[in-house]
Amino acid sequence: MTNIHDILTKYWGFTSFKPLQEEIIASVLSGKDTVALLPTGGGKSLCFQVPALAMEGICIVVSPLVALMGDQVNALKEHGIKALKLTGGISFDELNTLLDNALYGNYKFLYLSPERLQQEIVQNYIKQMNVNLIAVDEAHCISQWGNDFRPAYKNITLLREIHPLAPVIALTATATAEVLEDTISELKMELPAVFKNSFVRENLSYQVFKEEDKLYKAEQLLKTNSGSAIVYVRNRKSTVEISGQLNSLGISATFFHGGISTKEKAQKLQSWRSGKFSTMVATSAFGMGIDHPNVRFVIHLQIPESLESYFQEAGRAGRDGEYATAVLLYNEYDKMYVKQQFVESLPTTSELKRIYRTLTNYFQIPYGEGEFTKHNFGFSEFCKTYNLNSLLTYNALNSLDRLGIIQLSQEFGRKSIVQFLISSEQVLRYFEKDATASIIGKTILRIYGGIFEMPTAINLDLIMSKTGQSIETIIAVLKKMERDHVVGLTLQITDVTLTFLVPREDDKTINVISREVEALNRKKTAQVNSVLTYIANTKTCRSEQLVSYFGETTVSKCGICSVCKVQDSNLSNKEVQRLATQILALIEGGDLSSRDISEKLTFAETDILKVLRLLMDANKIKINPKNRYYLN
C-alpha cells in the first residue's frame, strides 16, 4: 500500500487534501463501506481514485453519463494512470477487447454505465478481476426519491454479489436525508461511514429576481461577465432561440440539448470550455459531469422543477473558488407553468394504465409477453397516433421508467441498418442520375465493406461529417433509395429506444406499483412547492434556505445573496429618505418598473429594491400585474 500523500503529489501535484477527503480515503482503505456527500467542487473523484491507486487491483466505477466517464478517463490518462471505459455503441468484439485489457492489462480503473452490468459477458469478466473498490458516482440515482433516479442503478448490487469483500464508496453532491437513507439501503451498504461536508458555498451568491423582461436582465449580467456562463432554459427550442438573441446582443453564445448528436455535443462543450463562446444556453441535459472551473454566472431563465436540480445546476458556478453568481429569473407566468408542467400533468394510476395499455398496443405486444423486447420509439409520432396529451404522456413514460416497467435509453450514433439490393454496376448507374445520392451513397460504400452481402449498421452522424450533408438530407436520400429498391433500410431517426422490462399484463402491471405512483406524485408536488417557497421567501438568506433543505441547519447568513444584500444595505436613514423621495417623484409621473427606476437614478439597484419594498410596506406605493409601481 502506497502513502496517499505521495499518490496525491505524484499524480495530481497537490500537497494537501480538501476538507474530508483524507478521512473518506482512510475509511475506504480500512475496508469500510463509505458514503461521501460533498458539494459540487468538493473533490469527490479523488475520494475513490486515491485509495484505488493505493491498493492492488482494479476499481470498478459506475457512472451515469458518458461525458462524465470520458472526462475522468481522459484526465486519469493525462496523469499517467491506466483507465478505460465501456460506453454504448461499441461492437461485441471491441467490448471483448476492452474487457481483456481490463483483466490482463494492469489497468487501475474500469468505468461503466449501470446498464452494462446487465450483460453476462461483463459480469463474467468482472468475476475474474481483482476488484479493490466499487465506486458509485452520482449515487442518488439509485434512490427512487432521488432527483435523477435511474432504474438500471439497481443492477449495481450485482457487483456486491460478485465481489462481496470489496468495499463500496457511494458519492453524491445532492441528497436529502430521505434520499441518503434510501441510497444506503438500495446499495446494501453495511454500517457505512457517512461523511457529509457542508453544502455552503461561501463564494457563490444566490440571487432571485422577479423580471418581466428576463432576457434584458440576463444581458445586463452577462455583459459584465469575465469568464464563462451557463444559461438554463426549459426546452430545446428555447436553447436555439435564446442563444441567437444573445449573439445579436453581442454576447457570444452557443446551445446544448439532448437532441444534438454526440459529436456535436463534444464540439460545443469544447468550444465553450476554450472560450470561443462565453455562454452556453442549455437544457438540463447539460448536467452532471460538466466540470469547468471558470464559470462566473449560472442563470436560470425558468423556474426549475426541484431544489435538488437547481442546487446542482447553480453549483456549476465558481468551482475555482472565486466569486460567482447563480441567478434565478422568474415571472408570474413561470410560477403557473411549473405547476402545470410538473404537478397538474402528473399521471394518476388510471391514466398510467391507459397510457401503458396504449403503448403495448402501439408496439403490438401480446398479453403475457414483451419482457426485455427493445423498440425504437418516436414520442411525437406516438402522441399524434393516439391523440395523446404530450405533457401528460411524457410524465407518464418517465414514471413508468422510474418504477421499472419500461426503460427509456439513448442510443449512441443513431445507427440505422442498410443493405444494397442491386449489383455494384447498377448502383453506379443509379448514382449517375442523382448527384446528392452519389455523394452519400459512395461515402457509405467507402466506409462500410460487405454492405452488398449483409445488412450493415451505419452511423448517420459519421456520414454527415464525411459528406457535409445534413441528417435530414441523408435520411431523405436513403428513403428514396429504399423506394427505388436500391437498398433495404431500417431507419432509426430517433436517439431513444424503449425496452419493456416486464411482461404485458395491462392493469395488473400498474396495480403492482400503484402505491409507488401515488408516492412519486406526492414527492414531485412537494419538490415543486419547495422551489416556489424558496422564490417567495425574501426574508431568509438564500444560502440558508438551500442548505437547510438538505438537512443542514447550523449555518449563518451568507451576506452576499439577493436577500442579504437588501437587508445589509449601508444606506443611512437620510439616504433612504432621499431615495424614497426621488422614487415617489418619478412614479408620480407615471407607473414604472424597477428597471425603469434604476435607469433614471444613480443609486445601486439593490438599494432601490430595498426602498421600493419599504415604500410598499408603508402603503405609499403598490405594484400592478405588469410589475409596474404606482402611487397608492
Q: Return the axis-axis angle of helices 542-549 and 514-536, rounded to nearest 10°.
A: 160
Q: What percent of the chain has pLDDT over 90?
A: 47
Distances (CA, A) of 262 to 89, 269, 337: 11, 11, 30
pLDDT exceeds 80 at position 606: no
Which residue matches cell numbers 415571472? 331
- What proportions of the chain, in percent to the nearest 5, are helix, strand and coil? 50, 15, 35
pLDDT of res. 413: 45
* Beta pairing, strands 295-300 & 324-330: parallel
pLDDT of res. 412: 43
pLDDT of res. 291: 72
| Nearest of 86, 162, 167 to residue 129 by alpha carbon | 162
Question: Of the ranges 150-159, 225-234, 352-361, which is most confident?
Answer: 352-361
For 8-67, the pLDDT digits (tens) are 999 999 889 988 999 999 999 999 999 999 876 678 899 999 999 999 999 999 987 666
* Other beta carbons within 10 Å of 348: 14
How many Å is the maximal CA-CA distance in the chain? 92
Under 8 Å CB-to-CB from 126, ≥6 apart: which residues? 60, 159, 162, 163
**Contact in structure between 506 and 409 (CB atoms under 8 Å):** no
d(CA 46, CA 42): 10
Least confident of 46-55, 105-114, 205-214, 495-504: 495-504
d(CA 489, CA 160): 43
Q: What is the mean pLDDT of the chain?
A: 87
d(CA 461, CA 536): 45
Distances (CA, A) of 459 to 418, 474, 479, 493, 625: 10, 11, 15, 11, 52
**pTM, to two decimals:** 0.69
pLDDT exceeds 90 at position 263: no
pLDDT of res. 437: 93
For 183-196, the pLDDT digits (tens) are 899 888 989 999 98
Question: Mean per-residue pLDDT for 487-502?
Answer: 79
| Beta pairing partners, 169 | 34, 135
| Nearest of 448, 449, 435, 445 to residue 477 by alpha carbon | 435
Least confident of 57-71, 136-150, 222-236: 136-150
Q: How many residues does the chain have?
A: 632
Question: Mean per-residue pLDDT for 352-381?
Answer: 90
For 417-451, the pLDDT digits (tens) are 899 999 989 999 999 999 999 999 999 998 888 88
**Contact in structure between 455 and 422 (CB atoms under 8 Å):** no
d(CA 141, CA 170): 11
Question: Mean per-residue pLDDT for 228-252?
Answer: 93
Find the angle CA(549)-CA(551)-CA(557) to the nearest 5 degrees. Answer: 70
d(CA 344, CA 391): 10
pLDDT of res. 139: 87
| Nearest of 70, 63, 67, 51 to residue 11 by alpha carbon | 51
At residue 148 the predicted structure's pLDDT band, cuts being 50, 70 and 90, is low
The sheet with strand 406-410 has its strands ordered as 374-376, 496-500, 406-410
**Contact in structure between 309 and 301 (CB atoms under 8 Å):** no
pLDDT of res. 349: 94
**Position with higher pLDDT, 403 vs 68:** 403
pLDDT of res. 293: 84
pLDDT of res. 2: 67
Type of residue at 111:
Y
C-alpha cell at 68: 462524465
